[in-house]
Structure 1
Amino acid sequence: MISFVWFVLFGAALAVKHKEHLKIDLVENFPSSIRKLFKMIELIVIFAFLFVFIYYGILLIRDNFQSGQTVGFLPLQVAYVYMAIPISGLCMLYYTVKDLMRK
């Protein structure tokens, strides 16, 4: 279960890197000015999502370290499982900013 959580979240970061997330092909047929507007809206939504993802992921980790909750019968705190959330969010942010700088 722990590996699955980490693999899924880092798979999402790789999908951001290779631009393999959901795409809407309808926008590609629009004029250039409208495509730029949609691109700006897309970036605003992505940055807002990543901010929430990273910020609340960090809060979740902090709260779990304070509670001391462990994973089932393993002597491993749940916070280590939840660390995948902000770390993958930072990777997604890195790839998004890197893509933005190339354009």
Structure 2
Amino acid sequence: MKFRKKVDKILGALLATIMGIMVINVLWQVFTRFVVGTPSSFTDELARYLMIWVGVLGAAYISGRRMHVAIDLLPTRLHKEGQVKLKIFINCIIILFCFFAFIGGGFRLVYITYTLEQYSPALQIPLSLVYLVIPISGILIIYYKISDILYKQL
């Protein structure tokens, strides 16, 4: 559990840092557009990529904190043992989805964009770095769900 708390803390700090950079980036965009009169060329693209990272990593963070939206109509009608079994089943489905969609599909996307040498227009960074957040998030979600199952934090 100590390791999970460290992962939570690091991920939370990373998300807060990305959000801070996004705020500064957007403020710079507004300043250069309305005060200077010449909008900065890279800020729109940077904000878009940072938003992708916040959204996808934020999903992993929320999943780990068990703060995600859930419909609890069925679990409330089951007895305690049934609730535990249902939550284990749901976590297994989430693990399978993350493995195939986030990790499998994400690494494939990263590989394709890396192989095709695709770069972002304004920042000129490899798009594979932008998309790398997808498999990273998948790994984190799987870690959290396996941890939930093993340590009975359902």
TM-score (norm 1): 0.89
Deviates more, 1:22-31 or 1:9-18: 22-31
Q: Which of 77, 87, 110 is the matching residue for 1:29?
A: 77
Q: Which has the higher contact order (CA 8 A, sep 6+)?
A: 1
Q: What is the number of equivalent residue pairs in this alignment?
A: 103
* Alpha-carbon distance in 1 for matches of 2:82, 2:71: 14
Partner in structure 1 of residue 50 of structure 2: 3
TM-score (norm 2): 0.62
Partner in structure 1 of residue 118 of structure 2: 69
Q: Identity over aligned residues, as a percent?
A: 28
Q: Which of 78, 81, 85 is the matching residue for 2:127?
A: 78
Which residue identity does 1:9 align to in structure 2?
V
Partner in structure 2 of residue 14 of structure 1: 61
Gaps of 5+ in 1: none
Alpha-carbon spacing, 1:98–1:40, altered in 2? closer, same or farther (3 Å): closer
* Alpha-carbon distance in 1 for matches of 2:106, 2:138: 9
SS in 2 for 1:73: coil
Which residue identity does 1:19 align to in structure 2?
R
Which residue identity does 1:11 align to in structure 2?
G
* Alpha-carbon distance in 2 for matches of 1:38, 1:66: 42
